[in-house]
Chain A
Amino acid sequence: MEYTLFILLLPFLSFLILGLAGMRMKHQVAGAIGTASLLGVTFLSYLTAFEYFTAGRTAEGVYPTLTPYNVEWLPFTNDLNISMGILLDPISIMMLVVISTVSLMVHIYSFGYMKGEKGFQRYYAFLSLFTMSMLGLVVATNIFQMYIFWELVGVSSYLLIGFYYTKKEAVAASKKAFIVTRFADLGFLIGILIYGYYTGTFSFTPAIGALAAAGTMIPLALGLMFVGGAGKSAMFPLHIWLPDAMEGPTPVSALIHAATMVVAGVYLVARMFPLFIGYAPEVLPWIAYVGAFTAFYAASIACVQSDIKRVLAFSTISQIGFMIVALGVCTSDDPHQGGLGYMSSMFHLFTHAMFKALLFLGAGSIIHAVHSNEMSAMGGLRKYMPITHITFLIACLAIAGIWPFAGFFSKDEILTACFQFSPIMGWIMTGIAAMTAFYMFRLYFGIFWGKENKELHAHHIPHESPLAMTFPLIFLAVVTCVAGFIPFGEFVSSNGQAYPIHLDMQVATTSIVIAILSIGLATWMYMRPKQPIADMLAKRFNRLHTAAYRRFYMDEAWLFVTKKVIFRCISTPLAWWDRHVIDQFFNFTAWGTHATAEEIQDMQSGNVQQYAIWFLAGAIALTIILLI
């Protein structure tokens, strides 16, 4: 499968072309180049998936791990070296399919959404760069290559979030996203270094002996790596960058903050899963707790936000929490006994990428129509935008977990895995799933039903988006309808063996009933133009409502820690030390250097006789030094 190299090369080439010459091109040409390269990538990804899965399993009943490329890049010792290559196994191929599909849809969609924007070519250049980095991340053959692309992903997302660089909020948001994730990546890097030091390799599969000898350092390294993953995947308390990152263009949010970059942390844990299970099982429950808390916390905030993109952002955080929980509740690598979570997490990652991208693209379509993110500017849009309305509804049903949409199947597997871990975890996650259904339908009714903002709409009549934007919506909606029926366990499971998915009827019934109840509640509260119950509840629990609206003051807490504690107690004294001691020392050495240079300039007199004397004196001096 040598052609897999082109999956990375095509977007890279398109980035180079658009980055170097894009500004001289017409908008359409630049967009066409980016989209064409993505079309190629998507085709190759599908071809890879098709060839890989039809090639069949090995004698042990698992799909083989292939490395069509693995070039030794920086050799340190015989074992410890940094290689660059391409690794194909079920999860990396699944990610290839997800990333290329969503990215292609976003490329097409952006033709309509970004039409006439200044910097259109730059936008497509960054999209290509991002896609290349993300694809490189998932096919990494070792943890260090993954880290390199991980940081590239961070950089390109920084560039995309700050795309409207004349807007102050966008610049602040891009900086925030970069700094927070970079801060978390510090943990990742330290984890990698500990891992490399103790196992003597950056490979995903170190020698058993080295692992056993490393002892407690492996859980530590894996825990630190999870910190990096938690930063990218916006786990509490490192989630604060994601809602702000919505300042970027909406298709970017669909690509980065729904389907690809934010699941990098989940992917990281899944990639290291055999090590977690084998050598650090005590870390996994903690991962589950972090995931569960994040899922609950984000869901509760999502219930009260009024900016539709923020609702979706918090919903994403909550759903990633689900995936993380599913990985964390694994207790063995046998899907029949406690390893179900791995499969369900990957399954949910897959389905979620599709319907969340659909939601974001739908939101983009709405924002495109009413020129505002606020729900107050919407309401009653179903009349004006039928396609957006139907596809959005499908996505809402999917995320709420209604049969037969994709989210139902994957969420059901996650809940089953949670119940296997402990009934308490199962019920907690079921409760969060109910919250999900509630806030999604609050959003849905707020946009498409409810009270119409007649004044605004009379001024500017909302209209359905052009085909470039509706086509991706329809495509993703179709995928959302059928993706649940993919026999996912046949392809991906914790030990590689085929795992036939069977519905746990008890869990399925409970979750559907609860979801329908929540939707009913949301319908009752938000469908009509006047919403007395919601207003009353907001007034009654005013403080709770405000706290949730202000995201439970987490941003303020971080600001307090950084500005008041770190800046004042650590940075200020350090700055003094830096300015008065370190700077002065270097000023002194610089002065000394200049003064010496001044002193010795006579040596270079231009007089050849004198040169000869120096020459001879030097030789004699060296002789004397050596003889003594």
Chain B
Amino acid sequence: MDYISILSMHQELGLIAVFLLVFLADLFLPERSRPLIRPIATLLLVVQLVGNIIPDEVILFGGMYHSTPMASVMKNILTLGTILVFMQSNDWLKREDTRHKTGEFYILTLSTLIGMFFMVSAGHFLLFFLGLELASVPMACLIAFDKYKGHSAEAGAKFILSALFSSGLMLYGISMIYGTIGTLYFQDIPAGLNGNALQILALVFFFSGLAFKLSLVPFHLWTADAYQGAPTNVTAYLSVISKGAAAFAAMVILVRVFGPMSSEWSQMLSIVIVATITIGNLFAIRQTQLKRFMAFSSISQAGYILLAVLAGTPQGMASLVYYMVVYIVANLAVFGVIASVEHHTHGKLERADYNGLYQTNPKLAMVMTLALFSLAGIPPFAGFFSKFFVFAAAFNSSYYLVVFIALVNTVISLYYYLLIIKAMFITPNEQPIPTFNSDNAMRACLMICVAGIILLGIVSNVYSVLSDTAVKF
């Protein structure tokens, strides 16, 4: 066997190198220079991003590892999102109770990211499952990062229990595929699919496992508790990065592996999409705690992302990845503001706390507003275009009714996003959150996010590049 060919997995290897370097730095740096880990980890990831910026196609181990150009774009987007999360985490990691485990945060986050890289570029169910688990287990540790705080530990426990259950179901589905076809290679499975009952069961069980990751209804119930309990920066990571990887994997596997059963899974997806968007929205309306609110908002956003999967076309793939980029910058902007406010007010997270934020912190309020507008899909922000492309993709594949229901739901989502904007700008408050200054990394991160929210929509090259890459995904 040609061991040198392993080197062509350059994205994964690069990330593992980053991981090892951070790990070693954490081990050997003297106590005094420990804070250096923060910039080191961020900069290493930037190097990793820049070094692998050109998308390419890599097939290894007889097809077990298959990274398409689109997958490599997706991995870069995940890296970018992680960099933004790292930039937001500085304040939190400087806190008295987390300072001593700064390194752990980076190590755990990077190992989940490695898992997602393998998920995205798997060509075999076994590798895919390994990646998924590698992404899940450290995630539980991250959620329970503030383990001495009751709710964080509780959230971690809930997450790991639900994750175990879903993994079990997914493995069961995979084993049925192996049982009926006799192979787990993605490229060999389609030939053996005939749509019998066992295979349908396999499809549903496998999809349920993914739906857990994507927090689709009715597999979403852990989401709110985990989002609320986890430290805010972890919630941010959870809401965009792990969701993005799962959505991409869902699209690749459903189209490439379960392609012959597309009539079955499109029916299933339609039901799940409608349920997810609607129920996510209905719950979001009633939330007054922002992290919990963002949990339901992200549930309904996942429904929109699935519209692109439903389309099942290269256009759908392009719009999915585009949606993810836009969603990442907008959601991270929101979480950046939430984390900033939480840090400087010692834990204020209620919507009512944000009343009158514009008077004291106008810039933060503006960032939040732009991000919420983008999430709600209001032109001319990027969120409008991403929703538009996703709808167009599903529409072109003639899922009119689903698109219509999704459209109606955008109105509801606009309502609850506006509630926050109203709180910040209109509702009077005797004692608004006092004026404070965020640290530089957070500011830079929010600026990048705002630039993304405004420019991604206007600079149409982004979408054309994606749709050129998506021709064969």
Contact = CB atoms under 8 A, between A and B. Distances in A.
A627 interface: yes
Interface string B265-281: 00110011000000100
A73 interface: yes
A593 B278 CA distance: 10
Contacts of A608: 157-158, 161-162, 222
A74 B217 CA distance: 35
Interface stretch (A28-36, A228-236, A598-606): A598-606
B272 A622 contact: yes
B456 to A, nearest CB: 14
B218 A627 contact: no
Interface stretch (B81-89, B197-205, B341-349): B197-205
B166 interface: yes
Interface string B159-195: 0011001100100000000000000000000000000
B441 interface: no
A604 B218 CA distance: 11
Contacts of A623: 200-201, 204
Nearest to A597: B282
Contacts of B128: none
A614 B215 CA distance: 13
A8 to B, nearest CB: 15
A79 to B, nearest CB: 16
A594 B218 contact: no
B146 interface: no
Given A618-B219, A622-B204, A625-B268, A612 B460 contact: no
Contact of B286 (A601, A610, A611): A601
B205 A600 contact: no
Interface string A580-600: 000000000010011011101
B56 interface: no
Contacts of A606: 225
Contact of B412 (A73, A593, A604, A616): A593
A626 B218 contact: no
Contact of B271 (A600, A603, A619, A625): A625
Nearest to A615: B219
Interface in B207-229: 207-208, 212, 217-219, 221-222, 224-225
A600 B282 CA distance: 9
A604 B197 contact: no
B283 interface: yes
Contacts of B158: 608, 611
A148 to B, nearest CB: 12
A611 B282 contact: no
Chain B binding site: helix, strand, loop or mixed by DSSP? helix
B37 interface: no
A619 B268 contact: no
Nearest to A611: B221
Interface in B432-473: 460, 464
B221 A603 contact: yes
A600 B279 contact: yes
Contact of A611 (B162, B200, B272): B162
A617 interface: yes
Contacts of B57: none
A72 B219 contact: no
Contacts of A610: 221
B464 A619 contact: no
A75 B207 CA distance: 35
B285 interface: yes
A604 B221 contact: yes
B437 to A, nearest CB: 20
Given A74-B460, A597-B286, A626-B268, A615 B201 contact: no
Interface string A60-91: 00000000000011110000000000000000
Contact of B212 (A74, A596, A615, A626): A615
A625 B201 CA distance: 11
Given A72-B464, A593-B412, A608-B158, A625 B224 contact: no
Contacts of B264: 626
B165 A622 contact: no
Nearest to B263: A626
Chain A binding site: helix, strand, loop or mixed by DSSP? helix
A622 B268 contact: yes
Contacts of B204: 619, 622-623, 626
B420 to A, nearest CB: 17
Contacts of B221: 603-604, 610-611, 614-615
Contact of A596 (B205, B282, B464): B282
Nearest to A75: B464
A529 to B, nearest CB: 60
A601 B221 CA distance: 11
Interface in A66-121: 72-75
A169 to B, nearest CB: 31
A610 B218 CA distance: 12
Interface in A241-266: none
A612 B225 CA distance: 14
Contact of A618 (B208, B286, B415): B208
Nearest to A81: B460
A179 to B, nearest CB: 22
A618 B201 contact: no
A615 B286 contact: no
Nearest to B201: A623
A72 B468 CA distance: 14
Contacts of B212: 615
Contacts of A603: 221
Contacts of A614: 218-219, 221
A625 B269 CA distance: 12
A616 B268 CA distance: 15
B460 A73 contact: yes
B30 to A, nearest CB: 42
Contact of B165 (A593, A596, A615): A615
B211 to A, nearest CB: 8
Nearest to B467: A75
A615 B215 CA distance: 11
A622 B217 CA distance: 12
B162 A619 contact: no
A46 to B, nearest CB: 31
Contacts of A593: 282, 285, 412
Contact of A617 (B218, B271, B415): B218
B461 to A, nearest CB: 8
A597 B219 contact: no
A597 B283 contact: yes
A612 B221 CA distance: 9
A626 B267 contact: yes
B462 to A, nearest CB: 12
Contacts of B197: 627
Contact of B205 (A594, A598, A617, A619): A619
A618 B279 CA distance: 14
Interface string B121-147: 000000000000000000000000000
Residue with the greatest number of chain A CB neighbours at <10 A, chosen from B204, B207, B221: B221
Given A75-B464, A625-B268, A626-B264, A615 B162 contact: yes
A600 B279 CA distance: 9
Interface in A461-482: none
A603 B282 CA distance: 12
Contacts of A601: 283, 286
B224 A604 contact: yes
Nearest to A73: B460
9 contacts: A72-B460, A72-B464, A600-B279, A601-B283, A612-B165, A614-B218, A615-B219, A622-B208, A627-B197
Interface of B: 157-158, 161-162, 165-166, 169, 197, 200-201, 203-205, 207-208, 212, 217-219, 221-222, 224-225, 264, 267-268, 271-272, 279, 282-283, 285-286, 412, 415, 460, 464
Give the 4 A-B CB pairs with smallest separation, nearest first: A618-B218, A611-B221, A597-B282, A619-B208
Given A606-B225, A612-B162, A627-B197, 8 more contacts: A600-B279, A611-B162, A615-B166, A615-B212, A619-B169, A619-B205, A622-B272, A623-B201
